[in-house]
Structure 1
Amino acid sequence: MLKEKIHIAVPTAFFEDESLNTQETISHIRDLYNQGVKSVLVSGTTGEQHSLSLPEKTDLINALELEEDLMSNMEIIFGVASTRQKEAEKLAEKISHTKIAGIMLGYPPYVIPTQEEALIYTKRIIDHSNKPAILYNNPGRTGFDLSEESIIELSKLDLVIGIKDAGSKEKVEQIKSGMRKNDFYFYAGGEVDLEEKISHGYDRLSSIAGNVSPEEISEWFQTMLMKQKISRQENEKIETIMDQVYEGNAIVNLKKIIHQRGISMGTCRSPIGNN
């Protein structure tokens, strides 16, 4: 079971020719670990997942497995999604033989499966991974929207522990009212409109800004979860962080900031980062 209320969705490092740089990806994760971060999402929600080939994702997993401290002391979640279900199943099978703590199960872009097809896709990938799974519903990027009924049905699976970006306030309320599972979590994707999302029932965070300010973002999120008042000073600090990360393209900004701190995350894969 995934216990951490917040994980950081880490960007993937690339060389200047846009090939995968596993060493610097791991260096960033190790740096977050040294700052006290307890959970990260790799190959997940920073917009780079679908640009990575199955061999590249496998290389990332192999590199993680060599990091005994990270694998033993962090909750490492790995993003699993593909336009081709067979490839996602192969990746899930690979993950099943590792210490990876869980998967973020995304849906294929563009092809727009039916709800029934998406249910079969989900169940087969979970069967192959045999790991706790967070469903990832992102219709703005994929064109596919997992319905309330599908989410409720999938929540009955023991290994499905939550969903990231379930949808509108009304959708969250309907899911909660139709669900018997108490330990099902709602993950907010990033920090934008986070306070509003918490008021609608979101109780966990898949953080973007935590890549550069993990302690500040964690404290801010925990304060809101406990419905405590946030000081003016803390609000100003968070506003500065949000401006740094979200003004423009968040992933491009993250990589620049991380690079300034001594870890070369390299470029993004074009067209992201085009000037």
Structure 2
Amino acid sequence: MLKETFHIAVPTAFFEDESVNIQGTIDHIRDLYKQGVKSVLVSGSTGEQHSLNLKEKIEIINSLVLEEELINNMEILFGVSSIRQKEAEELAKKIRTTKISGILLGYPPYVLPTQEEALVYTKTIINLSNKPTILYNNPKRTGFNLSVNSIIQLSKIELVVGLKEAGNKEKVGLLKNNINRSNFHFYAGGEVELEEKVLEGFDRLSSIAGNISPMEISQWFNKMLTKKNITQQERVKIETIIQQVYQGSPLVYLKKSINQKRIPMGICRSPIGNI
């Protein structure tokens, strides 16, 4: 199952014509690996997942599996979601045969499946991928909110190892009282209100700011989990990083910062980055 308490949701690199720059994406992952990062999420939480079509996602996977040092020494997670279940199924089948460590399973945006339809969707994708699965509930972006009862039901599946909850953070306390598994984890999406989320029961982090300050964010989060003292100097440093990343579009800031390291992260797909 998934061991790392901290992974970084990496952006996808694009050329100036907005086509995928797979090598630029891998260059960034390799740079994080050299800095000591042990886990990344590809095609996931940076808001680009639904701009990538199935062919592009499969091309990224094909390139990742050729990176033996990375695939053998990191927990590489891959975001699986699609407005069409059939495409998510194809992606899951592709991932099944690889050394990708696990999947982040999101829900189709806009179409608003019922809870029953979402359960069928979830179980189908999990069975096809046969990988440890983090459920991803993000009602603000998708319009769909996975219910407490649905999460409890899905938590009984051994391959379901956690929930990334971007909706109501208070939901986690209720879930912890109803999910009797020590190996089920709650992932915070990004660093905003992270200390409050840890107090609510979140015990893992899907990091955004870690793309530019991986060790600082990792150490800060681990101190929270272990209830160690965070110095005022550390707080000021982290607050500065978070303010820089989240003051506008995080993706635009991340790509600008990564490009400055001479890693070809390129641009965002419009309308992100229009300003």
3-state DSSP of counterpart to 2:241 = helix
1:60 partnered with 2:60: yes
Q: Which runs of 5+ in 2 are unaligned?
A: none
CA deviations 1:17-68 (Å, max 9, x no partner) are 0000000000000000000000000000100000000000000000101100
CA deviations 1:110-152 (Å, max 9, x no partner) are 0010000000000000000000000000000000000000000
Q: TM-score, normalised by structure 2?
A: 0.99
1:39 partnered with 2:2: no
Offset, 1:172 = 1.3
User: Counterparts of 1:1-275 in structure 2 under 5 Å?
Assistant: 1-165=1-165, 167-275=167-275
Offset, 1:167 = 3.7
What amino acid sits opposite 1:7 in the alignment? H
User: What fraction of aligned residue pairs are identical, expressed as a percent?
Assistant: 69
Offset, 1:243 = 1.7
Whether the aligned pair in 1 keeps the contact of 2:166 and 2:189 (CA below 8 Å) is no
Partner Cα distance (2:168, 2:252) in 1: 28
Whether the aligned pair in 1 keeps the contact of 2:8 and 2:208 (CA below 8 Å) is yes
Partner Cα distance (2:59, 2:191) in 1: 30
Whether the aligned pair in 1 keeps the contact of 2:14 and 2:266 (CA below 8 Å) is yes
Q: TM-score, normalised by structure 1?
A: 0.99
Offset, 1:182 = 1.8
Offset, 1:190 = 0.1
3-state DSSP of counterpart to 1:13 = coil
What amino acid sits opposite 1:243 in the alignment? Q
Flag as ranges the 4+ runs of structure 1 deviating above 4 A: none
CA deviations 1:71-120 (Å, max 9, x no partner) are 00000000000000000000000000000000000000000100000000
Offset, 1:166 = 5.8
Moved more, 169-178 or 54-63: 169-178
Q: Which runs of 5+ in 1 are unaligned?
A: none
Partner Cα distance (2:201, 2:40) in 1: 22
Offset, 1:178 = 1.5
CA deviations 1:191-211 (Å, max 9, x no partner) are 000000000000000000000
